[in-house]
Amino acid sequence: MQKRKLGASGLEVSALGLGCMRMSYHVDALPDKQEMITLIRTAVERGVTFFDTAEVYGPFINEELVGEALEPFKGQVVIATKFGHNVDPKTGADLGGQNSRPEHIRQVAEASLKRLRVETIDLFYQHRGDPDVPIEEVAGAVKELIQAGKVKHFGLSEASAQTIRRAHVVQPVTALQSEYSLWWRAVEEEVLPTCEELGIGFVSYSPLGRGYLTGKVDETVTFDRADIRNRLPRYTPEARKANWVVVEILTRIGEQKGATPAQIALAWLLAQKSWIVPIPGTTKLHRLDENLGALAVELTPDDLQAIESAMSQITVQGDRYPADLQQKTGR
């Protein structure tokens, strides 16, 4: 398994991680727990050492799943989890908005440690910015947790370049997690250059466009009632049909390389920077193996230029998020 370091922090992880969210979140019926534990442990056997979860996934049950699955591999894997949503710590009920008050961060950390069955959280992200709490206070709270030995590394998710800089002064940021894929590249404008300047690693979620870039989600596909894609403008049947040309580009390049569209999409991301680590999620073993196959795909400068040239002729249809979700990002 290829390894990568997240920026200048020295935190080394597998070049591809595993996003665990959909093992217990945004689905109508939960996948079989034992099957998911087996999938996670198989990922470890395949060389994956980087796993992503969050307290709000479930809430709580995703961390419990990941903790149980990875307990036999303590010290061999890196688990990232997140704080910042305003949920009841006992019931998991959504209390509305964000909550990154220092006392809440400490409370979440203690609960996550128990659910993950670890003594230290490897990477602790602020999930979304809290407009009521200055980022300096957030970074300070995590700094105290690091000094206490309860957290190893501090991360931010969907933060603006300005927020990253402000946080980094108080407590060095190890990784910035945001959406990044061939069809969502807004982070290239300010966020990636800021990460490069400050030596911060970048973790790409939804690197396969929430499944769209696999070529398996055309306009005829229907989603579970609980699936977030039902709310996203980019995933209406009309937008999926209009954007299919993106999949056709990936398919064409893939045919030349003996690779699937998903593998080309991941290989493209891996080729952007050596400190970018995609975390595609899946609940299926054959998809895990397909994703890991992207590590063997080598895109030449000519390949990358061909992709860039083709994408420059396209305007992707549909916003990434509706207004209420978009306002929580880029703070």
End-to-end CA separation in angstroms for the chain: 35
- All structural domains of the chain, each given as residue ranges with its CATH number in brackets, are 3-326 (3.20.20.100)
Q: Give the per-residue pLDDT at 116.
A: 98
Q: Give the per-residue pLDDT at 330.
A: 87
Is residue 283 within 8 A of residue 22, CB to CB? The reply is: yes
Q: Give the per-residue pLDDT at 137.
A: 98
pLDDT in tens, 198-237: 999 999 999 999 999 999 999 999 999 999 999 999 999 9
Residue 257, phi then psi, degrees to nearest 5: -105, -5
β-sheet bridge partners, residue 3 = 14
Active-site residue among 57, 180, 205, 212?
57
Q: Has residue 90 got a pLDDT over 90?
A: no
User: What would the mean pLDDT of 21-31 be, rounded to a whole number?
Assistant: 94
- pLDDT averaged over the chain? 97
Angle at 74 between CA 69 and CA 77, to 5 degrees: 80
C-alpha of 41 from chain center: 19
Query: Model pTM?
Result: 0.97
Clarify whether 57 is annotated catalytic: yes
